[in-house]
Structure 1
Amino acid sequence: MRLFLALLLTLMPLEAAAQPVAILPVKLLDTSHEARDQRADHDRRLALMAEVIAAELGDTVAITPEDVATCQPETTECLLALARDKGADQALFIVTQKTSTLILQMFANLVDVQTGAPILSRNLNFRGDNDDSWRRAARFLARDIQPD
């Protein structure tokens, strides 16, 4: 009987493997109107956010700015096709809005690349325009969107 159960368990389908997620370049909408030019800092933090999310999620595919540049005009359909071509099942779109040095908001949408259907949407607020706060926000988002 034990042998029969062991054989039966080996024939049962395994839990679905994690679906590869394409992480598109994170975008920034800076409405803070701060006097100091912070583009270099923000470019670094945008890349940091994508790196942290990729590390936390595990099975990811990077879509580079050079990849995105091939989509002219930059439409959702073209971006989803890029993600499909890279072998992803889902695509993560993130826009971060900076309203001041203290207040930032992240809008994240996870989309099925085959159908374009939204899987989930998150709007997260975080405080502080520095590497640590961006890293914490990225880590929180990645953990929030991981399947249970």
Structure 2
Amino acid sequence: MHYSRLILAAVLLFVLPCSPVAAEAAIGVAMEDFSYTDTSAEPTNQIAAHERRLQAFMAALRRDIGEGGRYRLVPSAEDGAAFKVIGGIQKTSTLVQWAKVAVIDIGAKRLVMDKLYSFRGDNDEAWERAEIFVSREIMAALAAPAPIALAVFDFELEDTTAASVGASAASDASHLAEATGAVREALGQSGRYRIVEVSREAATAGALRDCGGCEAAIAKALGADQALIGVVRRVSRTEYTLGFQLRDAGTGAVLVRGDSGLRLGADYSWKRGAVRLVSDRLIESQ
């Protein structure tokens, strides 16, 4: 009896840390039945067969997503869903069908997946193959890391030509705004970042590039994880350089710096240069 208790205790010590109770709580996923549309104009009525295959497709999809315990299927966000999966299938010809699938991060209110797939055939085997592929794609989207909340502050101009007066200053401001907007769009579309709105009132008076990292505290107050500032340095009316700096909003530590070489072009080219620099040093390099 004494040895039996020792063996039981050893088994419990081995099993309990790996049990589902000790594991991280499963992530809720809401999945609506996909729609189905047949525009193939085939003479044979296949409504019953399509309904049966769609039901089998959805049952297998839910089974695959829930398998392993990482995710749990729930009816809606009110029931604890962190993600929502929606989609539809369209048959366009005898041998070609299309599947449109989207995965929505409910908390962040953003798409983490939005893809269109084609698959050949309209029999049980073709539908099974399509389900296996789609389930893998959805699982990959669900497992993708959450985007970093990023505050991108307005790009600033460092002008050594002392020529920004009157109409020229207004033009400079317009092109700086275009550069800022284009950079925010590129970072947001990368899927790695969630752009946090920055109001003019959130920034301190004066140049953020000279405030000793104060943008980090401002970004943190806005709910961002990181802060990015950018500078256009005008060397002459047709020459300029670009730079940006990325800080951790919590610690203020500089995470990434990027600087371009001398570029040729008028102020309307700032947008193109800024997007290229951020893409090269921040998006594609990581």
Pairwise TM-score range, normalised by the shorter structure: 0.7 to 0.9
Deviation, 1:31, is 0.8
- C-alpha distance in 2, partners of 1:127/1:20? 33
Letter aligned with residue 49 of structure 1: A
- C-alpha distance in 2, partners of 1:31/1:77? 23
8 Å CA contact 1:24, 1:62 repeated in 2? no
8 Å CA contact 2:157, 2:232 repeated in 1? yes
Letter aligned with residue 177 of structure 2: A
8 Å CA contact 1:53, 1:141 repeated in 2? no
**CA shift in 2, pair 1:76/1:40, >3 Å:** same
Aligned residue pair count: 144
Alignment-derived partner of residue 271 in structure 2: 135
Higher RCO (C-alpha 8 Å, min separation 6): 1
Alignment-derived partner of residue 115 in structure 1: 251
Alignment-derived partner of residue 159 in structure 2: 30
8 Å CA contact 1:107, 1:121 repeated in 2? yes
Identify which of 79, 90, 96 aligns with 2:215.
Answer: 79
Question: Which consecutive unaligned segments of at least 5 residues does structure 2 have?
Answer: 1-62, 72-138, 189-193
Letter aligned with residue 79 of structure 1: E
Partner secondary structure for residue 116 of structure 1 = coil
Taking every aligned residue pair, what percent have the same amino acid on both sides? 25
- C-alpha distance in 2, partners of 1:115/1:50? 24
Map 1:17-56 onto structure 2 (within 5 A): 17-34=146-163, 37=166, 38-56=168-186
Partner secondary structure for residue 99 of structure 1 = strand
Partner secondary structure for residue 68 of structure 2 = helix
Partner secondary structure for residue 87 of structure 1 = coil
Question: Which consecutive unaligned segments of at least 5 residues does structure 1 have?
Answer: none
**RMSD over aligned Cα, in angstroms?**
3.0
- C-alpha distance in 2, partners of 1:8/1:121? 41
| 2:203 is the counterpart of 1:68 | yes
Deviation, 1:4, is 8.9
**CA shift in 2, pair 1:143/1:41, >3 Å:** same
TM-score by length of 2: 0.44
**CA shift in 2, pair 1:104/1:9, >3 Å:** farther
- C-alpha distance in 2, partners of 1:35/1:56? 28
Deviation, 1:70, is 6.5
- C-alpha distance in 1, partners of 2:228/2:254? 10
Alignment-derived partner of residue 102 in structure 2: none
8 Å CA contact 2:217, 2:252 repeated in 1? no
Q: Which has the larger radius of gyration?
A: 2
Partner secondary structure for residue 175 of structure 2 = helix
- C-alpha distance in 2, partners of 1:138/1:96? 8
Partner secondary structure for residue 46 of structure 1 = helix
Deviation, 1:122, is 0.4
Deviation, 1:36, is 6.7
Deviation >6 Å, runs of 4+? 3-6
